[in-house]
Structure 1
Amino acid sequence: MKKYQPTDAELEILQVLWEKQPATVREIFDKVAQKKEVVYTTVLKQIQRLQEKGVLERLETNEGHQYRCLLDQVDFQRNWLQKTVDMVFDGSVSKMAMHAISEKADKSELEALKIWIENELKKQQ
């Protein structure tokens, strides 16, 4: 599959499935509906389109049709983040990190990042 760039709505469905899969349309809808107002048939249509694109697989089970994501979450995140860094931050990981940290990180996250950076620096020595 070529590099897949999901819409925001598709990404919400993928996140639900990465958390728990396989899942029925009802289970996916219920999770998405917890975050925003959405119509069941819209979620169903998005799931069908994701299946047509080869992103989801439909399984026949005792519970009925269930879906699972064929994209590995870590690989997808890595590719998506690299594309974002390249397109939005001119390829600069440090610019991206500084922007993200200045916007949302709390003290515990900053401490965790500090430890991670120190460990990465040790690896490169």
Structure 2
Amino acid sequence: MSKHSPLPTPTAAELELLRILWQHGPLDARAVYDFLALERADASYATVLRQLQLMHGKGLLSRDESRRPQQYCAVEAQEKVQTSLLKDLIGKVFAGSGKALVLTALREHVSDADRLEIEKILRNKDAGKP
């Protein structure tokens, strides 16, 4: 995939497989299936294999064909994909306002422990600390 072409937007199913590859590194289709099957009883090896092949075709995955079985690896780092998806979400759902996204997350989806950690980060940033 060219460095200048936009990232393909992964589907929810593709994100599940990407998450496994980001977490465990390059894997063959059987290993990806095994990890997915731990979370989803309805997972099918044939579906996982086909999905990995489609993701390779879209440019989301690279494939090491010199090894048997072939190893799949995410082309883009997790942070880059998350940033791209978040930018898209902010634009579509929050009218371009990162503040609206953060306030919604803080009100609805952040535990008290996470909120304290966020406050500490913000205090340190305001004080000029890394």
Normalised to the residue count of structure 2, the TM-score between the two structures is 0.85
Amino acid at match of 2:75: L
What's the CA shift string for 1:83-121, capped at 9, x where partnerless?
Answer: 111110111112111212222211110011111222333
Aligned equivalent of 2:17: 13
Question: Runs of 5+ in structure 2 lacking a partner?
Answer: none
- What's the counterpart of residue 95 of structure 2? 90
Task: Name which of 74, 85, 104 aligns with 1:69.
Answer: 74
Partner of residue 22 from structure 1, selected from 21, 26, 36: 26
Q: Give, in whole Å, the separation in 1 of the partners of 2:115 and 2:52.
A: 37
CA distance in 1 between counterparts of 2:83 and 2:59 reads 20
Question: Which deviates the most, 48-57 or 33-42?
Answer: 33-42
Taking every aligned residue pair, what percent have the same amino acid on both sides?
29
Query: Could you tell me which residue of structure 1 aligns to residue 47 of structure 2?
Result: 42
Runs in 1 of length 4+ with deviation above 4 angstroms?
A: none
- Count the aligned residue pairs: 122
**Which string of whole-angstrom CA distances, capped at 9 and with x for unpartnered residues, describes residues 20-72 of structure 1?**
111011111112222222111011100000111121111132x5211111112
Note the residue ranges of structure 1 that are not aligned, 5 or more in a row: none
1:28 is aligned with what amino acid?
V
- Determine whether 1:3 maps to 2:7: yes
What TM-score do you get using the length of structure 1 for normalisation?
Answer: 0.88
Q: Is the 8 A contact 2:26 2:73 kept in 1?
A: yes
SS at match of 1:23: coil
